[in-house]
Structure 1
Amino acid sequence: MYTLTEIETQGLHYLEMASSDGESKGQICLNQGGRLSKFVFKKIQILADFDTSTYKDNYASSVLFPFANRIKDGEYTFNDSKYELDCNESDKNNALHGLVYNKTFVCVHKTLTSNYASLTLQYKDAGKSKGFPFKFNIELIYTLSQSGLNLSAKVVNECDKTFPFTLGWHPYFNSKDLNNSSINFVSSKKYRFDNQQIISGTTSLDVEMPFQLKDVKLDDGYPLATNELEFSTPEYSFKLTSTSIENFLQLYTPNQPNVIAIEPMTGAADNFNNKIGLQMLDPNDTYNVEWNIKIETLNSKTKTNKLINKLCNS
């Protein structure tokens, strides 16, 4: 039976899901936007280990809503009205990573079985945020299972006006050796960025896939041609799939070694202005997206290969 443990430390409230053998654990911080703060799968550390005090700088595993990535100068126009968001990226004068990353979520439902654990978290916004005066509810459903992790996000428009939105997720993944790791996705181009890290155009993506991550430094965005990508490391690999019709990807390598942010998004950076992937949510309507991470460890791959070889030779 999967278990659930409540943890209070350094003024933060966590919920930790764990498999019955304790080899897989997912820890969620309710006070920091309901983010997945730790994730271990079959004893392998999947998420990078950042101190919680650095979250304000790295936004590790934050859910990005109502916009993902950046809004240039924190300004946009919607339905002939001009809005101005707080610019929390002071060095580039941008609004960064949405409005729920630092909100407190509450757990409204939990399911614990012998095969999986699932938590439903909720945050209700009264529509009084600067630059986004729209009332909404957002629910995050985390499911830890024997195959990996699933994150489902549901947004409900609770006001009497349509609003623009994008959803994203900002996890940093750990690799035992990033120089011997790779990522595989389908795209024909990547975005060019200006000195504010705002999209200024596109260029052809001249990279052989799988994209080898040896000695690379990344802060790049891509429109994806499919709804999936693969990440491979010496210890594990995973396939990340999205239910979004349009899919976008941001890759970022921080100064910490052997770590990469792989950020799925439903729209591109600054799309409140450039409209790339931007969606609208009408009053009382609901939007859902799921990101599923199916993981294979090196041990499970080895066992599978041995079984295939045995069947082929029998």
Structure 2
Amino acid sequence: MTGTKAIQLRAGQSSLTLYPALGGMINALEFATPQGVRNVIDGVAPGELPHNPGYRSAVLFPFPNRLRDGRYQFAGKRYQFAVNEAATQTALHGFLHRTEARVVGQEQTAEAHSITLSYACKAEPGYPFAVDVELSYTLRAEGALDVELTVTNRDAEPIPLGTGWHPYYTLGCDLAECHLQTPDIQRCAIDDRMLPTGDYVADQRFSAPTLLGDTALDNCFALDGSVEGEQCVRFFNKSAGFGLALWQRTGVHGMNFLQLYTPPERQSLAVEPMSCGIDALNTGEGLQVLEPGQQYQGAFGVRLIKSV
């Protein structure tokens, strides 16, 4: 694996550093803010890149979040992933984060720089299906990054899947000084293994811009899947005078779930768009099933807020 080989995109004063062999991991994203050019991604040190212990800014496939005991059943067959989170005895975040990609397209103008990565997956332990995953990143000079994800079933049989993105955003200050605002959301109730109980609770803590203070989050939320189009989380710092709009496309077969996480060091916030809930290969919550030749498409990204 050539996981430490980076590709850099540039558009105006915006720049992006990504690693095709690490699930399209983004380790830096710079925008021209009112305080100057700032990196808004909390990445990892060069020595941590090959294993990326926090799955930072990688695309997650064929499931995000946790899978109970690493196992599931589909179409009458049992499948087993390696358990890679000892504390919860679950499998975490699939395998795309360690899969090599090919660069299949790149285009640059004065306003935007785009790149397309292609992952051909087959015979993976726990997921022995033939499937292509294509990621298209478009960096924009005005301060935006758009990501489009396309999954194509190349198998002779139907396949199940879920996907997500795992970015950690930073505004260059402690979370206590930052505000958060979310769309209408329902919080997924979880047990002591961080697995869903099947219940959802309305959560209005951030329906208006709210100072994070010492709030701790490690929760999955369901968005209103009847909304066809973009739904957006706003994360900003009034003292710095800027923030980020973190969007995902929802609707039928949309990215209708969201994970929010405050790391212990509290210098960044993970805002993770997902197509499904926790343990979706077992619960079916948001699970996508593709017939042979069928595609799934998801979209998400980030835009600079220049005035707060």
Out of 230, 234, 250, which is 2:234 matched to?
Answer: 230
Does residue 24 (structure 1) correspond to residue 30 (structure 2)? The answer is no
Shift of 1:112: 0.8
Q: Which residue of 2 aligns with 1:189?
A: 186
- How high is the TM-score relative to the length of structure 2? 0.88
Alignment of 1:63-142 (within 5 A): 63-125=59-121, 127-142=122-137
Equivalent-residue separation in structure 2 for 1:152 and 1:208 (angstroms): 27
Go from structure 1 to structure 2 and tell me whether the alpha carbon gap of 1:11 and 1:128 turns closer, same or farther (over 3 Å shift).
Answer: closer
Partner of 1:6 in structure 2? none
Matching residue of 1:47:
41
1:1-314 paired onto structure 2 within 5 Å: 12-20=4-12, 23-42=13-32, 43-54=37-48, 55-125=51-121, 127-147=122-142, 148-177=144-173, 178-200=175-197, 201-209=199-207, 210-225=209-224, 226=227, 227-234=231-238, 235=240, 236-245=242-251, 246=254, 247-297=256-306, 301=307
Give the TM-score normalised by structure 1: 0.86
Structure 1: segments with no counterpart, 5+ residues: 1-9, 303-314
Query: What are the Cα deviations for residues 114-148 of structure 1, in whole angstroms up to 9, with x where unaligned?
Result: 110000111111x2111111101111111100231
Letter in 1 for 2:30: V
The answer to whether the 8 A contact 1:190-1:205 is kept is: yes
For 1:13 and 1:281, locate their aligned partners in 2 and report how far apart those are by CA, in whole Å: 33
CA offsets 1:201-239 (integer angstroms, 9 cap, x no match): 323324252243111111111101253222222432222
Please say which of residues 193-202 and 39-48 is displaced more in the overlay: 193-202
CA RMSD of aligned residues (A): 1.8
Deviations 1:85-139 (A, max 9, x none): 11111222111111201111121110011110000111111x2111111101111
1: CA distance, partners of 2:171 / 2:232 = 20
Give how far 1:254 is off.
1.2
Aligned counterparts of 1:75 and 1:211: Cα–Cα separation in 2 = 39
Structure 2 unmatched ranges of 5 or more: none
Separation in 1, partners of 2:265, 2:295: 38
The aligned amino acid for 1:204 is A
For 1:271-311, what per-residue CA distance to the aligned partner results, in whole angstroms no more than 9, with x for missing partners?
A: 111111111111011111111322123xxx28xxxxxxxxx
| Alpha-carbon distance change, 257 to 228 in structure 1, aligned in 2, over 3 angstroms | closer
* Secondary structure at 2:176 match in 1: helix
Quick one: which amino acid aligns to residue 233 of structure 1?
N
Change in Cα spacing, 1:145 to 1:188, as seen in structure 2 (3 Å) is: closer
Take 1:95 and 1:211, find their aligned partners in 2: how far apart are those partners? 33
> Equivalents in 2 of 1:188, 1:123: separation in Å?
32
Say if 1:58 and 1:188 are closer, same or farther in 2 by CA, change over 3 A: closer
Percent identity at matched positions?
A: 27
User: What amino acid does structure 1 have at the position aligned with 2:128?
Assistant: P
Q: CA deviation at 1:53?
A: 3.6
Greater C-alpha radius of gyration: 1
Q: Give the counterpart letter for 2:289 in structure 1.
A: M
Q: Is the 8 A contact 1:12 1:30 kept in 2?
A: no
Shift of 1:14: 0.5
Contact 2:11 2:109 in 1 (8 A): no
**Contact persistence 1:158–1:283 (CA under 8 A):** yes
CA separation in 1, counterparts of 2:257 and 2:3? 35
Could you give the per-residue CA deviations for residues 44-99 of structure 1, whole angstroms, max 9, x where no partner exists? 12111321444531000010111111111011111121111111112221111112
